[in-house]
Structure 1
Amino acid sequence: MREDIQEVLFTEEQIKDKTKEIGKRISEDYKGKDLILIGILKGSVMFMADLMKEIKIPCSMDFMSVSSYGNSTESTGRVKILKDLDFSIEGKDILIVEDIVDSGITLSYLKDYLYSRKPNSLEIATLLNKPERRQTSIKPKYMGFNVPDAFLVGYGLDYAEKYRNLPYIGVLKEKIYK
Protein backbone atom coordinates (compact mmCIF):
# COMPACT_ATOMS: atom_id res chain seq x y z
CA MET A 1 0.00 0.00 0.00
CA ARG A 2 2.83 2.40 0.78
CA GLU A 3 3.84 2.42 -2.90
CA ASP A 4 0.43 3.99 -3.70
CA ILE A 5 1.10 6.95 -1.41
CA GLN A 6 2.61 10.07 -2.95
CA GLU A 7 3.52 11.59 0.43
CA VAL A 8 2.72 11.15 4.11
CA LEU A 9 1.03 14.28 5.45
CA PHE A 10 0.62 13.26 9.09
CA THR A 11 2.43 10.48 10.90
CA GLU A 12 0.88 8.16 13.44
CA GLU A 13 2.61 10.15 16.20
CA GLN A 14 1.33 13.52 14.93
CA ILE A 15 -2.21 12.13 14.78
CA LYS A 16 -1.91 10.75 18.30
CA ASP A 17 -0.65 14.08 19.69
CA LYS A 18 -3.41 16.06 17.96
CA THR A 19 -6.10 13.62 19.12
CA LYS A 20 -4.86 13.93 22.71
CA GLU A 21 -5.03 17.73 22.43
CA ILE A 22 -8.60 17.65 21.06
CA GLY A 23 -9.70 15.14 23.73
CA LYS A 24 -8.38 17.42 26.47
CA ARG A 25 -10.33 20.39 25.10
CA ILE A 26 -13.52 18.35 24.80
CA SER A 27 -13.10 17.05 28.38
CA GLU A 28 -12.80 20.62 29.67
CA ASP A 29 -15.66 22.02 27.58
CA TYR A 30 -18.14 19.25 28.36
CA LYS A 31 -17.38 18.68 32.03
CA GLY A 32 -20.68 18.06 33.86
CA LYS A 33 -22.65 17.69 30.63
CA ASP A 34 -24.42 14.71 29.06
CA LEU A 35 -22.08 14.18 26.10
CA ILE A 36 -22.83 11.82 23.23
CA LEU A 37 -20.30 11.35 20.45
CA ILE A 38 -21.84 10.46 17.10
CA GLY A 39 -19.36 8.91 14.72
CA ILE A 40 -20.04 9.13 11.02
CA LEU A 41 -19.31 5.74 9.47
CA LYS A 42 -17.03 4.45 8.20
CA GLY A 43 -14.24 7.00 8.06
CA SER A 44 -14.51 8.30 11.61
CA VAL A 45 -14.09 4.93 13.36
CA MET A 46 -10.33 5.13 13.97
CA PHE A 47 -10.39 8.79 15.05
CA MET A 48 -13.47 8.29 17.21
CA ALA A 49 -11.99 5.28 19.03
CA ASP A 50 -8.74 7.11 19.75
CA LEU A 51 -10.53 10.35 20.65
CA MET A 52 -12.79 8.61 23.17
CA LYS A 53 -9.69 7.24 24.92
CA GLU A 54 -8.52 10.84 25.38
CA ILE A 55 -11.83 12.19 26.72
CA LYS A 56 -11.59 12.04 30.51
CA ILE A 57 -15.28 12.60 31.34
CA PRO A 58 -18.25 10.23 31.03
CA CYS A 59 -19.66 10.08 27.51
CA SER A 60 -21.76 7.83 25.30
CA MET A 61 -21.44 7.01 21.64
CA ASP A 62 -23.52 6.11 18.66
CA PHE A 63 -22.95 5.93 14.93
CA MET A 64 -24.66 7.11 11.79
CA SER A 65 -23.95 6.16 8.22
CA VAL A 66 -24.53 9.09 5.90
CA SER A 67 -23.41 9.52 2.33
CA SER A 68 -23.32 12.15 -0.37
CA TYR A 69 -20.58 10.43 -2.37
CA GLY A 70 -21.93 7.03 -3.38
CA ASN A 71 -19.04 5.27 -5.13
CA SER A 72 -17.58 8.49 -6.48
CA THR A 73 -14.68 10.69 -5.40
CA GLU A 74 -16.91 13.79 -5.67
CA SER A 75 -20.00 14.63 -3.63
CA THR A 76 -23.29 14.15 -5.47
CA GLY A 77 -24.93 16.86 -3.37
CA ARG A 78 -27.69 14.43 -2.37
CA VAL A 79 -27.49 13.16 1.19
CA LYS A 80 -28.74 9.73 2.15
CA ILE A 81 -28.97 8.33 5.70
CA LEU A 82 -27.99 4.67 5.60
CA LYS A 83 -27.99 4.06 9.40
CA ASP A 84 -29.70 6.30 11.93
CA LEU A 85 -29.14 6.68 15.67
CA ASP A 86 -30.17 3.96 18.07
CA PHE A 87 -31.52 6.26 20.82
CA SER A 88 -32.93 9.70 21.55
CA ILE A 89 -30.61 12.74 21.69
CA GLU A 90 -33.20 15.14 23.07
CA GLY A 91 -31.65 17.32 25.78
CA LYS A 92 -28.17 15.81 25.24
CA ASP A 93 -24.93 17.52 24.23
CA ILE A 94 -24.02 16.12 20.83
CA LEU A 95 -20.59 16.04 19.25
CA ILE A 96 -20.51 14.78 15.67
CA VAL A 97 -17.16 13.10 15.02
CA GLU A 98 -15.85 13.12 11.45
CA ASP A 99 -12.62 12.05 9.82
CA ILE A 100 -12.63 14.95 7.35
CA VAL A 101 -14.81 17.97 6.61
CA ASP A 102 -14.68 18.58 2.88
CA SER A 103 -17.57 20.23 0.99
CA GLY A 104 -19.68 20.39 4.17
CA ILE A 105 -22.78 19.26 2.28
CA THR A 106 -23.29 16.10 4.31
CA LEU A 107 -22.60 17.78 7.65
CA SER A 108 -24.87 20.72 6.90
CA TYR A 109 -27.72 18.33 6.15
CA LEU A 110 -26.87 16.20 9.19
CA LYS A 111 -26.79 19.19 11.57
CA ASP A 112 -30.27 20.28 10.45
CA TYR A 113 -31.52 16.71 10.71
CA LEU A 114 -30.16 16.25 14.24
CA TYR A 115 -31.29 19.72 15.44
CA SER A 116 -34.85 18.61 14.70
CA ARG A 117 -34.39 16.04 17.50
CA LYS A 118 -33.90 18.82 20.07
CA PRO A 119 -30.39 18.25 21.47
CA ASN A 120 -29.12 20.65 24.13
CA SER A 121 -26.12 21.47 21.93
CA LEU A 122 -24.58 20.21 18.72
CA GLU A 123 -20.97 20.66 17.59
CA ILE A 124 -18.51 19.02 15.23
CA ALA A 125 -15.09 17.49 15.87
CA THR A 126 -12.96 16.54 12.89
CA LEU A 127 -9.43 15.35 12.50
CA LEU A 128 -9.04 16.93 9.07
CA ASN A 129 -10.45 20.13 7.63
CA LYS A 130 -10.35 20.98 3.92
CA PRO A 131 -11.67 24.58 3.90
CA GLU A 132 -10.90 25.37 0.25
CA ARG A 133 -13.49 22.77 -0.85
CA ARG A 134 -16.25 24.05 1.46
CA GLN A 135 -19.61 24.70 -0.18
CA THR A 136 -21.48 25.45 3.06
CA SER A 137 -20.93 27.57 6.18
CA ILE A 138 -20.03 24.53 8.34
CA LYS A 139 -17.23 25.24 10.84
CA PRO A 140 -16.03 22.47 13.14
CA LYS A 141 -15.53 23.51 16.77
CA TYR A 142 -12.72 20.97 17.24
CA MET A 143 -10.26 20.52 14.43
CA GLY A 144 -7.02 18.65 14.06
CA PHE A 145 -5.31 19.73 10.86
CA ASN A 146 -6.12 21.88 7.84
CA VAL A 147 -5.29 19.89 4.73
CA PRO A 148 -4.71 20.70 1.06
CA ASP A 149 -7.13 19.85 -1.70
CA ALA A 150 -5.65 16.42 -2.39
CA PHE A 151 -7.05 12.88 -2.29
CA LEU A 152 -6.22 11.68 1.23
CA VAL A 153 -6.24 8.13 2.57
CA GLY A 154 -5.27 6.35 5.76
CA TYR A 155 -6.40 6.40 9.38
CA GLY A 156 -10.00 5.71 8.33
CA LEU A 157 -10.03 7.58 5.02
CA ASP A 158 -10.40 5.36 2.00
CA TYR A 159 -10.44 5.01 -1.71
CA ALA A 160 -12.80 2.23 -2.85
CA GLU A 161 -12.86 0.91 0.75
CA LYS A 162 -9.08 0.42 0.79
CA TYR A 163 -6.26 2.19 2.67
CA ARG A 164 -8.36 2.83 5.82
CA ASN A 165 -5.96 0.67 7.83
CA LEU A 166 -2.88 2.82 7.20
CA PRO A 167 -1.73 4.25 10.55
CA TYR A 168 -0.88 7.61 8.95
CA ILE A 169 -2.60 10.01 6.55
CA GLY A 170 -1.17 10.34 3.08
CA VAL A 171 -1.87 11.69 -0.37
CA LEU A 172 -2.95 8.95 -2.78
CA LYS A 173 -1.12 8.93 -6.10
CA GLU A 174 -3.38 10.26 -8.83
CA LYS A 175 -2.79 7.25 -11.07
CA ILE A 176 -4.59 5.07 -8.49
CA TYR A 177 -7.94 6.88 -8.62
CA LYS A 178 -8.02 8.35 -12.15
Structure 2
Amino acid sequence: MTIHMSVMISAEEIHAKVKELGAKIDAHYAHSDKELVLIGLLRGSVIFMADLCRTISKPHELDFMTVSSYGGGTTSTRDVKILKDLDGEIRGKDVLIIEDIIDSGNTLSKVLEILSTRNPHSIELCTLISKPSRREIELDVKFLGFEVEDKFIVGYGLDFDQKYRHIPFIGEIGL
Protein backbone atom coordinates (compact mmCIF):
# COMPACT_ATOMS: atom_id res chain seq x y z
CA MET A 1 0.00 0.00 0.00
CA THR A 2 1.35 3.41 -0.99
CA ILE A 3 0.77 6.30 1.39
CA HIS A 4 0.77 9.89 0.12
CA MET A 5 1.29 12.56 2.77
CA SER A 6 1.21 16.35 2.79
CA VAL A 7 2.14 18.61 5.70
CA MET A 8 -0.92 20.13 7.39
CA ILE A 9 0.76 21.58 10.52
CA SER A 10 4.54 22.01 10.54
CA ALA A 11 6.86 20.96 13.35
CA GLU A 12 7.62 24.65 13.95
CA GLU A 13 3.93 25.52 14.28
CA ILE A 14 3.44 22.64 16.73
CA HIS A 15 6.46 23.69 18.81
CA ALA A 16 5.18 27.30 19.04
CA LYS A 17 1.67 26.11 19.97
CA VAL A 18 2.96 23.77 22.68
CA LYS A 19 4.91 26.65 24.27
CA GLU A 20 1.81 28.86 24.08
CA LEU A 21 -0.36 26.18 25.70
CA GLY A 22 2.21 25.65 28.47
CA ALA A 23 2.14 29.38 29.27
CA LYS A 24 -1.68 29.38 29.36
CA ILE A 25 -1.70 26.34 31.64
CA ASP A 26 0.82 27.98 33.99
CA ALA A 27 -1.30 31.15 34.12
CA HIS A 28 -4.50 29.17 34.75
CA TYR A 29 -3.06 27.19 37.68
CA ALA A 30 -0.75 29.93 39.03
CA HIS A 31 -2.92 30.70 42.07
CA SER A 32 -4.09 27.17 42.82
CA ASP A 33 -2.64 25.59 45.95
CA LYS A 34 -3.74 22.16 44.75
CA GLU A 35 -1.43 19.57 43.24
CA LEU A 36 -1.58 19.43 39.45
CA VAL A 37 -1.79 16.07 37.66
CA LEU A 38 -1.49 15.73 33.91
CA ILE A 39 -3.28 12.62 32.68
CA GLY A 40 -2.33 11.42 29.22
CA LEU A 41 -4.67 9.20 27.27
CA LEU A 42 -2.44 6.58 25.69
CA ARG A 43 -1.04 6.11 23.20
CA GLY A 44 -1.52 9.14 21.00
CA SER A 45 -1.00 11.81 23.66
CA VAL A 46 2.44 10.69 24.80
CA ILE A 47 4.54 12.80 22.40
CA PHE A 48 2.41 15.93 22.92
CA MET A 49 2.35 15.40 26.68
CA ALA A 50 6.12 14.90 26.90
CA ASP A 51 6.75 18.19 25.10
CA LEU A 52 3.97 20.05 26.91
CA CYS A 53 4.98 19.03 30.43
CA ARG A 54 8.46 20.51 29.88
CA THR A 55 6.88 23.92 29.16
CA ILE A 56 4.82 23.98 32.39
CA SER A 57 6.74 25.50 35.28
CA LYS A 58 4.19 24.63 37.99
CA PRO A 59 5.27 21.35 39.60
CA HIS A 60 3.05 18.51 38.43
CA GLU A 61 2.64 14.75 38.35
CA LEU A 62 2.17 12.64 35.23
CA ASP A 63 -0.21 9.71 34.99
CA PHE A 64 -1.73 7.74 32.15
CA MET A 65 -4.88 5.90 31.16
CA THR A 66 -5.62 3.64 28.24
CA VAL A 67 -9.26 3.49 27.24
CA SER A 68 -10.95 1.85 24.32
CA SER A 69 -14.29 2.33 22.64
CA TYR A 70 -13.48 0.54 19.42
CA GLY A 71 -13.60 -3.13 20.42
CA GLY A 72 -11.30 -4.20 17.59
CA GLY A 73 -13.21 -2.33 14.88
CA THR A 74 -12.74 1.02 13.22
CA THR A 75 -15.87 2.73 14.53
CA SER A 76 -16.65 3.61 18.12
CA THR A 77 -18.98 1.31 20.04
CA ARG A 78 -19.52 4.07 22.65
CA ASP A 79 -18.88 1.39 25.29
CA VAL A 80 -15.72 2.70 26.94
CA LYS A 81 -13.46 0.19 28.62
CA ILE A 82 -10.53 1.12 30.84
CA LEU A 83 -7.58 -0.98 29.68
CA LYS A 84 -5.04 0.77 31.95
CA ASP A 85 -6.22 2.85 34.89
CA LEU A 86 -4.40 5.62 36.71
CA ASP A 87 -1.59 4.61 39.04
CA GLY A 88 -2.15 7.54 41.41
CA GLU A 89 -4.94 9.16 43.39
CA ILE A 90 -6.61 12.33 42.03
CA ARG A 91 -8.91 13.19 44.95
CA GLY A 92 -8.62 16.91 45.76
CA LYS A 93 -6.13 17.59 42.93
CA ASP A 94 -6.30 19.74 39.81
CA VAL A 95 -6.53 17.31 36.88
CA LEU A 96 -5.60 18.21 33.32
CA ILE A 97 -6.46 15.56 30.75
CA ILE A 98 -4.06 15.61 27.81
CA GLU A 99 -5.42 14.29 24.52
CA ASP A 100 -3.88 14.18 21.06
CA ILE A 101 -7.12 14.60 19.13
CA ILE A 102 -10.82 15.01 19.87
CA ASP A 103 -13.20 13.68 17.23
CA SER A 104 -16.74 12.73 18.31
CA GLY A 105 -16.12 13.43 22.01
CA ASN A 106 -17.81 10.19 23.07
CA THR A 107 -14.79 8.48 24.62
CA LEU A 108 -13.54 11.62 26.33
CA SER A 109 -16.97 12.39 27.82
CA LYS A 110 -16.98 8.91 29.40
CA VAL A 111 -13.45 9.44 30.74
CA LEU A 112 -14.63 12.73 32.29
CA GLU A 113 -17.57 10.91 33.93
CA ILE A 114 -15.28 8.22 35.34
CA LEU A 115 -12.68 10.66 36.67
CA SER A 116 -15.32 12.99 38.16
CA THR A 117 -16.45 10.19 40.48
CA ARG A 118 -12.96 10.23 42.02
CA ASN A 119 -13.52 13.72 43.47
CA PRO A 120 -10.73 15.80 41.94
CA HIS A 121 -10.67 19.51 42.85
CA SER A 122 -11.02 20.35 39.13
CA ILE A 123 -10.84 18.71 35.71
CA GLU A 124 -9.86 20.52 32.52
CA LEU A 125 -9.16 19.34 28.98
CA CYS A 126 -6.16 20.06 26.78
CA THR A 127 -5.95 18.75 23.23
CA LEU A 128 -3.53 19.35 20.43
CA ILE A 129 -6.10 18.75 17.67
CA SER A 130 -9.87 19.19 17.53
CA LYS A 131 -12.15 18.15 14.68
CA PRO A 132 -15.33 20.11 15.51
CA SER A 133 -17.20 18.85 12.42
CA ARG A 134 -17.05 15.30 13.89
CA ARG A 135 -18.31 16.29 17.36
CA GLU A 136 -21.31 14.36 18.66
CA ILE A 137 -20.89 15.43 22.30
CA GLU A 138 -19.84 18.99 23.09
CA LEU A 139 -16.90 19.28 25.46
CA ASP A 140 -15.45 22.30 27.22
CA VAL A 141 -11.85 22.25 25.97
CA LYS A 142 -9.94 24.76 28.10
CA PHE A 143 -6.64 24.47 26.21
CA LEU A 144 -6.87 23.94 22.45
CA GLY A 145 -4.02 23.66 20.00
CA PHE A 146 -5.48 23.49 16.48
CA GLU A 147 -8.90 22.99 14.91
CA VAL A 148 -8.75 21.05 11.67
CA GLU A 149 -11.13 19.83 9.00
CA ASP A 150 -12.21 16.22 8.91
CA LYS A 151 -9.11 14.84 7.20
CA PHE A 152 -7.18 11.68 7.93
CA ILE A 153 -4.07 12.90 9.74
CA VAL A 154 -0.97 11.32 11.28
CA GLY A 155 2.22 12.41 12.99
CA TYR A 156 3.22 13.89 16.34
CA GLY A 157 1.56 10.97 18.15
CA LEU A 158 -1.32 10.39 15.73
CA ASP A 159 -1.16 7.07 13.94
CA PHE A 160 -2.44 4.94 11.13
CA ASP A 161 -2.34 1.27 12.14
CA GLN A 162 0.20 2.16 14.90
CA LYS A 163 2.57 3.76 12.37
CA TYR A 164 3.68 7.36 11.72
CA ARG A 165 3.46 8.57 15.35
CA HIS A 166 7.14 9.56 15.18
CA ILE A 167 6.74 12.13 12.39
CA PRO A 168 7.46 15.61 13.86
CA PHE A 169 4.62 17.33 11.95
CA ILE A 170 0.92 16.66 11.39
CA GLY A 171 0.37 15.30 7.91
CA GLU A 172 -2.73 14.54 5.92
CA ILE A 173 -2.57 11.14 4.30
CA GLY A 174 -4.25 9.70 1.27
CA LEU A 175 -4.25 5.98 0.62
Residue 67 of structure 1 corresponds to 68
Note the C-alpha offset of 1:69: 2.6
Aligned-partner Cα distance in 1 for 2:65–2:8 = 27
Aligned-partner Cα distance in 1 for 2:74–2:150 = 12
Note the C-alpha offset of 1:92: 0.2
- Note the aligned Cα RMSD (angstroms): 1.5
Note the C-alpha offset of 1:71: 4.1
Provide, for residues 93-113 of structure 1, a one-character-per-residue CA deviation record: whole Å limited to 9, x for no partner: 000000001110111000000
Question: Structure 2 matches for 1:4-23, cutoff 5 A?
Answer: 4-23=3-22
Provide, for residues 42-88 of structure 1, a one-character-per-residue CA deviation record: whole Å limited to 9, x for no partner: 00000000000110110111000011134444322221110000111
Residue 93 of structure 2 corresponds to 92
Aligned-partner Cα distance in 2 for 1:73–1:158 = 13
- Write 1 or 2 for the structure with the bigger share of helix: 1
- Secondary structure, counterpart of 1:125 in structure 2: strand
- Secondary structure, counterpart of 2:40 in structure 1: strand
Counterpart AA for 1:140: V
When the two structures are superposed, what TM-score results if normalisation uses the length of structure 2? 0.94
Aligned-partner Cα distance in 2 for 1:120–1:6 = 42
Note the C-alpha offset of 1:150: 1.0
Residue-pair matches, total: 173
Between the aligned residues of both structures, percent identity stands at: 51
Instruction: Pick closer, same or farther for the CA change 1:132–1:43 going to 2, 3 Å.
Output: same
Aligned-partner Cα distance in 2 for 1:171–1:140 = 23
Note the C-alpha offset of 1:5: 3.7
After alignment, is 28-37 or 81-90 more displaced?
28-37
Instruction: Pick closer, same or farther for the CA change 1:72–1:9 going to 2, 3 Å.
Output: farther
Residue 82 of structure 2 corresponds to 81
Note the C-alpha offset of 1:156: 0.4
Which runs of 5 or more residues in structure 2 are unaligned? none
Which runs of 5 or more residues in structure 1 are unaligned? none
Is the counterpart of residue 29 in structure 1 residue 28 in structure 2?
yes
- Secondary structure, counterpart of 1:47 in structure 2: helix
Residue 117 of structure 2 corresponds to 116
- Secondary structure, counterpart of 2:54 in structure 1: helix
- Secondary structure, counterpart of 2:39 in structure 1: strand
When the two structures are superposed, what TM-score results if normalisation uses the length of structure 1? 0.93
Instruction: Pick closer, same or farther for the CA change 1:59–1:68 going to 2, 3 Å.
Output: same
Contact 1:37 1:97 survives alignment (8 Å): yes
- Secondary structure, counterpart of 1:167 in structure 2: coil
